[in-house]
Amino acid sequence: MEMEIVNDDSDADAIIVNTCGFVEDAKAESIEAIFEAAALKGGEGGPKKVFVTGCLGQRYSDQLIEEIPEVDMVVGFENYGTLPSNIASALGHTLPKDFQVSMVPGAADPVLDDPVDRPVERVQVGSSTVPFREEYARHRLTPQHTAYIRVAEGCDHKCTFCAIPGFRGKFRSKPWAALLEEVRHLAADGVREFNLIAEDTNQYGMDRKDDKDLAKLLREMGTIDGVEWIRILYAYPSYFSDDLIKAIAEVPQVCKYIDIPLQHISNMVLLSMNRPPRGSTEKLLHKLRDNIPGLVLRTTFISGFPGEGEAEHKELVDFCKSFQFERMGVFAYSEEDGTPAAGYENQIDMEIRQARRDELMSLQQDIGIAFAESLVGKELDVLIDVEDEENGVLIGRTQYDGPDVDPHVFVQLPEDPDISPAQVGEIRRCRVTSNFLFDLEAYPIA
């Protein structure tokens, strides 16, 4: 039998819902998606089966099966490899013994410059004994020109609010050769932006002690044909060596943008969270800005953590006012099963958590607008993500904008008739003409 991934739900025999179980909002969004998929079952020509996978499926498989009977099977992330056979079985088929998951139709499969360097190690997810296939071969949901690159799996930190180490396992870096092969394949397939992710991205390589760390990875990726942007996401506020900071500043392909979740700034709250203290965090933030010209910092904070009083909240507000993060998000604290913080006695009322979150986000709106205004008149490179045919514009992002979370650039036709219009997937030099709140308007100049 053959399996084909389709774009329209109504054409599918089975729907796979990939879930997140990190915080309460993500869980709620995942549950909503499961119900949406289940509602499509039984319609004329619609899907016959619904499968749930991902972190929520890994953590709460029994509850999902019991409470949402429309779900036919839950397959946790440790069993991703069994999805084809499980789907075939549920639809009344049997896979041949030589069945393999093939490359996405049309995806490039280049001959590597150094075939001797093909990896023999397997990359592991969840339990350290569970392998998964090379990620470049999977069906990507991102546009052709951008991709997420997981550089490591698991986490060794013991933040009291976070359940991830309990089900993602200990930190382990993706093997050097496997990672670079993935980048080469994706670059040959048209990927221009590589978003590096992990539970702790900048710890990459430190578990292996082979001197191949994130700084060396950035430099090596910068030599690969087709790699134009490298973006660092989810960097824990530790492990920023001088060499890493220098690589971020010097490698032209590395976006001058770092996503570094801080969670709070009050020492009392940070101690309760089991996070690095304020002094070392502030020293690092200033060092990053002083040594990486044009750096934009994104962070996230948690409001209403157990024991956070008005004084601690005000300390965080004052810090955000003074430091002026260009990009920032705030989550209202949610109790996560199995975490120490969920058992703390001094929990904050949800209304107070949300009010404190809203105050911080209101402050950040003004900061974000001011940053957008500061870019008007400047020339910036813009990656074109999509065409808005209805409004006759292209929508893209600068190097200061991570996919899905940051503002957009609306790219008009060039003013100079000798300059070609921008195309989806291109990185074009543009002049910013105006801003609308956080978003920018621009036109190509080269």
Do 69 and 192 belong to one domain? Answer: no
- Residue 299 covered by a domain: yes
Find the range with the poorest average confidence among 19-33, 237-251, 408-422.
19-33
Residue 52, classified by CB atoms within 10 Å of its CB into exposed (0-12), middle (13-18) or buried (19+), is: buried
- Residue 104 covered by a domain: no
Do 78 and 176 belong to one domain? Answer: no
- Residue 116 covered by a domain: no
Do 398 and 365 belong to one domain? Answer: no
Kindly report, residue by residue over 334-352, the tens digit of the pLDDT.
998 889 999 999 999 999 9
- Residue 98 covered by a domain: no
Number of separate domains in the chain: 3
3-state class (DSSP) for residue 107: coil
Kindly report, residue by residue over 259-312, the tens digit of the pLDDT.
999 999 999 999 999 999 999 999 999 999 999 999 999 999 999 999 999 999
- Residue 277 covered by a domain: yes
Do 139 and 288 belong to one domain? Answer: yes
Do 329 and 399 belong to one domain? Answer: no
- Residue 338 covered by a domain: yes
Do 351 and 391 belong to one domain? Answer: no
Mean pLDDT of the region 107-120: 30
- pLDDT higher than 70, residue 87: yes
**Of 374, 398, 417, which residue constitutes the final position of a domain?**
374
- DSSP string of 244-306, one letter each residue: HHHHHHH-TTEEEEEE---B---HHHHHHHT---HHHHHHHHHHHHHHSTT-EEEEEEEES-T
Do 133 and 249 belong to one domain? Answer: yes
pLDDT in the model for residue 134? 66
- Residue 47 covered by a domain: yes
**Of 326, 353, 374, which residue constitutes the final position of a domain?**
374
Kindly report, residue by residue over 301-343, the tens digit of the pLDDT.
999 999 999 999 999 999 999 999 999 999 999 998 889 999 9
Mean pLDDT of the region 104-109: 30
pTM of the shown model:
0.86
- Residue 181 covered by a domain: yes
Do 138 and 79 belong to one domain? Answer: no
- pLDDT higher than 50, residue 27: yes
**Of 90, 107, 133, which residue constitutes the final position of a domain?**
90
Do 163 and 177 belong to one domain? Answer: yes
- Residue 81 is part of which domain span? 9-90
3-state class (DSSP) for residue 37: helix
Residue 159's closest CA among 303, 61, 263?
263
Q: Which two tokens stand for residue 347?
A: 């929990």
Do 380 and 370 belong to one domain? Answer: no
The pLDDT confidence band at residue 368, using thresholds 50, 70 and 90, is very high
The pLDDT confidence band at residue 125, using thresholds 50, 70 and 90, is low
182: Cα separation from own chain's centroid: 17
CATH code of the domain containing 260? 3.80.30.20
Do 183 and 265 belong to one domain? Answer: yes
The pLDDT mean for the chain works out to: 88
Do 190 and 326 belong to one domain? Answer: yes
Mean pLDDT of the region 75-79: 76
